[in-house]
Amino acid sequence: MKTDISPAPADLEAQIGMLSKKISASRFGKLRRAASLRTRRATLVLEDIFQPHNGAAVLRTADAFGLKEVHVIESRYKFRASAQVDTGASKWLEVHKYPCGDGRFPRNVKILKHSPLPKGCRENVAKALGEIRNMGYMLAASVPGEGSLTLQTLPLDRPIAVMIGTELTGLSDIAIESADVRFSVPMYGMAQSFNLSVFAGVCLGGICSRIRSREREFWALNRREELELLLSWLKKCVKNADEILGLA
């Protein structure tokens, strides 16, 4: 039988206490508040985002809405986030990447608008989405058109992973086929598309407001998860944290 060797909450609190003395009280208060508001009831799945400013803006949006993690599928393009736009937001997120092949992508790549994904990349998309589903998430694909669910009617009885596709063509066919549900956001102007980061904000705004309207136990991390997260953040803020904790 596998034994859980994770530190007990009391041990985590003791380590947090040691490291918190190395930063200002106001900074620690901000970290503690943010950790208490993190949620795993919603996450983003980004497929083949290739513009660094979009990647950074989406991560910043995810952090602002209190997501704990973001998932990135890389088929043709390596996910890059502009440091000027990111402003350090990705430091507080768990970003899980699922690269196609060996994960090495050319920096200057030709943008392919309509060609289908290679077989290996299709298999990688399906595998990545299967792993995310196995984490307990319902996969919700964003697709244009009538007949889909809306942000107001998406079921939230289990954690939801909002799938957003590449800037030019949206989600790949295999990603849409792999989804559990599909939804759309109505648009009423001449433009029939949002900027990618704006769309992520619209989706998370609608979904997170519904999630957080429920009791705290519904959306919050459990006590151990919250303490582990806070400790991991403190280790990023405090130089030689492991030495201070006697772990080095």
Long-range contacts (CB closer than 8 Å, 24 or more residues apart) made by 203-207: 203/142, 203/151, 203/162, 203/164, 204/42, 204/44, 204/61, 204/62, 204/65, 204/67, 204/162, 205/65, 206/151, 206/152, 207/42, 207/151, 207/154, 207/156, 207/160, 207/162
Report phi then psi at 134, rounded to 5.
-65, -15
Residue 93 lies in a domain: yes
Quick one: 83 and 155 in the same domain? yes
- Structure confidence at residue 170 as a pLDDT band (50, 70, 90): confident
Quick one: 121 and 239 in the same domain? no
- Structure confidence at residue 1 as a pLDDT band (50, 70, 90): very low
- Which is nearest to 149 in space by CA: 206, 188, 195? 206
Quick one: 185 and 247 in the same domain? no
- DSSP annotation of 213 reads T
Quick one: 162 and 46 in the same domain? yes
Q: What is d(CA 36, CA 201) in angstroms, rounded to the nearest whole number?
A: 21
Residue 23 lies in a domain: no
Asked which of 15-24, 34-43, 87-96 is least confident by mean pLDDT, the reply is: 87-96
Residue 236 lies in a domain: yes
Give 127-166 pLDDT, tens digit per residue.
999 999 999 999 999 998 766 799 999 999 999 999 999 8
Domain assignment of residue 129, given as a range: 40-214
- Which is nearest to 45 in space by CA: 65, 69, 63? 69
Tokens representing residue 209 in the block: 């407001």
Residue 4 lies in a domain: no
Residue 13 lies in a domain: no
Per-residue pLDDT, averaged over 96-100, amounts to: 93
Report phi then psi at 86, rounded to 5.
-60, -40
Quick one: 151 and 54 in the same domain? yes
Quick one: 91 and 114 in the same domain? yes
Residue 11 lies in a domain: no
Quick one: 70 and 177 in the same domain? yes
Quick one: 243 and 190 in the same domain? no
Residue 48 lies in a domain: yes
Quick one: 116 and 226 in the same domain? no
Quick one: 205 and 225 in the same domain? no
Residue 179 lies in a domain: yes
Look at the chain and report how many structural domains it folds into.
2
Is 90 exceeded by the pLDDT of residue 110?
no
Q: What is d(CA 248, CA 242) in angstroms, rounded to the nearest whole number?
A: 5
